[in-house]
């Protein structure tokens, strides 16, 4: 490996770090996780031969989807969707799943405040569960382990000032 290749890899890592979230929001006291359920789990290997020089790098993509608030029962839910993508064909395996997070909240929190929290806040609670499930699925279908990066939890707003 040449020095130019190392420099290119370091630049790519720095660009990735700028695109990733800097810190996750902590769970406020008024919002509490009630339960989390894995759902729609797909994990399978494909019987393909690996061509010489194939790029075996994969991307683990995650997003928060299907936000819903039940104002009558003071409950909110969100799905953390995880999908493993290959940049080129043939795909050697497929892994995707969702984790449904069910949260309760207390009356001082308005619906708008809960929706604002559901934009990124549940990541601090659901990513550790997704990290564990992804590692388990990789071991079960006998492929190299994939990891979701660890993000720091932001300090409470009173400590930021």
Contact 123, 24 (CB under 8 A): yes
Helix (H, G, I), strand (E, B) or coil at 119: helix
Give the helix ranges, DSSP H, for 78-122. 111-120
| Max avg pLDDT among 69-73, 87-91, 117-121, 152-156 | 69-73
Cα-Cα-Cα-Cα dihedral of 107, 108, 110, 114, to 10°? -90
Q: pLDDT tens, 58-85?
A: 888 888 899 999 888 888 999 999 998 8
pLDDT value of position 24: 60
Q: pLDDT tens, 38-48?
A: 999 999 888 88
pTM greater than 0.75 (yes/no): no
Write out the CATH class of domain 29-48+57-146. Answer: alpha beta
């Amino acid at each position: 490996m040449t020095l130019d290749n190392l420099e290119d890899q370091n630049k790519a890592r720095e660009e990735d770090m700028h695109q990733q979230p800097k810190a996750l929001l902590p769970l406020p006291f008024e919002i509490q996780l009630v339960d989390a359920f894995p759902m729609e789990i797909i994990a399978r290997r494909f019987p393909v031969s690996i061509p010489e020089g194939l790029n075996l790098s994969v991307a683990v993509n995650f997003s928060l989807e299907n936000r819903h608030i039940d104002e009558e029962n003071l409950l909110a839910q969100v799905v953390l969707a995880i999908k493993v993508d290959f940049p080129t064909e043939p795909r050697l395996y497929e892994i995707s799943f969702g984790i449904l997070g069910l949260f309760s909240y207390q009356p001082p929190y308005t619906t708008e405040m809960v929706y604002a929290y559901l934009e990124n806040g549940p990541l601090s609670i659901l990513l550790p569960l997704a990290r564990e499930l992804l590692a388990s699925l990789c071991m079960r279908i006998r492929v190299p382990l994939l990891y979701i990066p660890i993000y720091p939890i932001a300090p409470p707003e009173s400590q930021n000032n």
